[in-house]
Amino acid sequence: MTEKRQLTFALAKGRLAENAVEILEQCGVDCAPLKEQTRKLVLFDADRKYRFIFVKPADVPTYIERGVADIGVVGKDTLLEESKDIYEMLDLKFGACRMCVAGFSSKEESITHSTLRVASKYVHIAKDYYAAKGIDVDIVKLTGSVELGPIIGLTDIIVDIVESGKTLEANGLVVLEEICKLSARLVVNKVSLKTRHREIMPLIDKIAKVVEMK
């Protein structure tokens, strides 16, 4: 009989990683190996009970949907953009930010053409938002430094996450509309939740309690 693999976590690299590890630690998951400087892509706790992979945020839903990871921590922005067939189990309440439309405050004057041009890393979110409003837009996909869009004249506005607002401020841009509020979410593979219910549910209950106490 083949041995069951370790319960696997897919954690988003970057701004959410530190808080995700902290919450897992508070739930009694040994995260010491995750804090070591290493180029290894697959890590284990000391008892080899859990397996961890750190991946680009946009890839977390893919690993979870495909079932090679059971539990993930990722931003709501990524979940909305990727729209994968996975369970969103908990709002982890950290990584709070907003999905916004931003641009120059004198928006009307600067737009001289009929179709609004929008730069974004979140093309699906932007498309859905403007489709719901019945506004025709030309969406330009960028992978970072989206604020450059209006500054350099590539687009009129941007759809992007705003956390402190410092990037907008430093570049002379302002929030024009708020699309939705965002934070980190705990996600689970649909099959894993059924087949590994007895391992996953107690862990989720613990995580929910830690989040509540914060």
Q: How far is the CB of 169 from ligand PRP (least distance, A)?
A: 8
Instruction: Give the Cα separation of 185 and 40 in Å (integer).
Output: 25
Q: Residue 160 Cβ, how far from ligand PRP at the closest point, in Å?
A: 5
- 162 forms part of the interface with ligand PRP (CB under 6 A): yes
Shortest CB 82 distance to ligand PRP, Å = 16
Binding track, positions 120-149, relative to ligand PRP; x by CB under 6 A: ------------------------xxxx--
Contacts 24+ apart (CB under 8 A), 85-89: 85/190, 86/61, 86/187, 86/188, 86/189, 86/190, 87/187, 87/188, 87/189, 87/190, 87/193, 88/185, 88/186, 88/187, 89/185, 89/186, 89/187, 89/188, 89/204
From 163, 177, 178, 205, residue interacting with ligand PRP (rule: CB under 6 A): 163
Is the Cβ of residue 115 or residue 145 nearer to ligand PRP in the bound state? 145
Q: Is 12 in the site for ligand PRP (CB under 6 A)?
A: no
State which of residues 19, 165, 183, 204 lies at the interface with ligand PRP (CB under 6 A): 165
Query: Can you tell me which of 167, 171, 183, 195 binds ligand PRP, judged by CB under 6 A?
Result: 167
99, 107, 159 from 178: Cα distances, Å:
6, 15, 9
Task: Verify binding: residue 151, ligand PRP, rule CB under 6 A.
Answer: no
Q: Residue 91, CB half-sphere, CA atoms under 13 Å: how many?
A: 9
**Nearer to ligand PRP by C-beta: 58 or 68?**
58
Q: DSSP state, 121?
A: S
By CB under 6 A, tell whether 102 contacts ligand PRP: no
Tell me 35's DSSP state.
Answer: G
Give the interface with ligand PRP as residue ranges (CB under 6 A).
Answer: 144-147, 160-167
